[in-house]
Structures are given as C-alpha cells and as structure tokens.
Amino acid sequence: MLAALTALDEGRTPERPVLREAVRTLLAALTERAPGRSVEVRVPPYGAVQCVPGPRHTRGTPPNVVEMDPATWLAVATGRLGWMEAVTEGRVRVSGNRADLSAYLPI
C-alpha cells in the first residue's frame, strides 16, 4: 500500500497490481471497521464491498451506494482528502441515506 500512496503523492500513477492491492486492502479494513451490509462501496475496477450496520440489501441495485475511482479511495481512506470535500467536489458519488462514510474514515 505504501508504494501506491507514495506514487500518488509524487503525482505518478501506481502500477496496476500495486494500486489494486492497496484498494483491496483498504476496502477490507473498511469492512472490519464498519461491519454490515447496508452500504455498497464500489471502487472500479478493483473492488466492491458491503459494509455499515443496518438493513441488509439482497437483490438488485442497492439503495445505498458509494462509488469513486481508486486514487480518490486511497486519498479518502487514508485521510489525505476529507470525506465532505470529496463528495462536494464530485469525486465521490453517493446515493441513499446511509451512504455517509465520514464516521468510518480515515481508516
């Protein structure tokens, strides 16, 4: 994960496998910090997880979705970018009344 963060901090694009591993590691940490299945967090093309306590979603498109690109996810998950700032700037797309992850970030 450090290699991906260093590359992003230096304005470089991390190698694909390095970026993928960093995204997946932080998504796994989020599910540990916010266990549940009421919100789906998507970071295409590397991963998606369900987390946050509350009503469980089982079919179709989930009512509570958070989606962002890998670089934004790493920035938000590590505190390099604030949750509200990312949402306000449109870097994070949210839908549903449970889609606020600010209580769980940074990891």
> Which residue has 């970018």 as its token pair?
81
- Cα–Cα dist 8/29, whole Å: 20
- Cα–Cα dist 7/102, whole Å: 25
Instruction: Give, rounded to a whole angstrom, the gap between the first and last alpha carbons of the chain.
Output: 13
Q: What is the pLDDT of residue 86?
A: 98
- Report which residue type is found at 50: Q
Provide the whole-model pTM: 0.93
Residues 6+ apart with CB under 8 A from 32: none
- Report which residue type is found at 107: I
What class does CATH assign to 2-95?
alpha beta
Rounded to an integer, the average pLDDT of 73-77 is 98
Inter-CA distances, 19 with 4, 10, 46, 89, 101, Å: 6, 14, 8, 22, 21
Residue 58 has pLDDT above 70, yes or no: no
Q: What is the pLDDT of residue 62?
A: 75
Residue 99 has pLDDT above 70, yes or no: yes
